[in-house]
Amino acid sequence: MSDCLFCKIIAGEIPSSKVYEDEKCLAFYDIDPQAPTHFLVIPKTHIGSVAEVNEDNAAIVAHIFTVIAQQAKKLGLDSYRVVSNIGDQAGQTVPHLHFHVLSGRDMTWPPG
């Protein structure tokens, strides 16, 4: 999607600090980290949010979770949180599916 910020990052039109990349997904550090370690994992195909996941595109979500597990292990994270915001009220600001991976500080439950 040409006017999507994360599609532009995937295309290399906007720089990012890469954690991991393969043919299906990209992981990069959040520009405004909310924890000592905070990176995002996104599919390379444009999906608006979890609300647009269906039987036809769900395989990328499973793949992203394997990447999250692998990269968290590689970074030595033994406790972390995975978050995906859907819609305005939940705090979604970029309409391209992404999973936040946050680690390195105490976290509250329920989330704010």
Residues that bind ligand AMP (CB under 6 A): 5, 14, 16, 28, 30-32, 85, 91-94
> Residue 77 burial by CB count (10 A; 0-12/13-18/19+): exposed, middle or buried?
middle
CA–centroid distance for 51 within its chain: 15
The residue nearest Zn ion at its CB is: 4
From the CB of 28, what's the least distance to ligand AMP, in Å?
Answer: 6
Q: Is 98 a catalytic residue?
A: yes
Q: Which does 91 bind (CB under 5 to 8 A by kind): ligand AMP, Zn ion, none?
A: ligand AMP
Q: Which does 59 bind (CB under 5 to 8 A by kind): ligand AMP, Zn ion, none?
A: none
Q: Which is nearer to ligand AMP, 56 or 80 (CB)?
A: 80
Q: Nearest approach, Cβ of 80 to ligand AMP (angstroms)?
A: 15
* Residue 46 interacting entry, from Zn ion, ligand AMP, none, C-beta within 5 to 8 Å by type: Zn ion
Q: Rounded to 5, what percent of the chain is helix, strand, coil?
A: 25, 20, 55
Cβ neighbours of residue 102 closer than 8 Å, sequence gap 6 or more: 34, 35, 37, 38, 80, 81, 82, 83
Answer for the pair 48, 95: CB distance below 8 angstroms, yes or no: yes
Q: What amino acid positions are annotated as catalytic residues?
A: 98
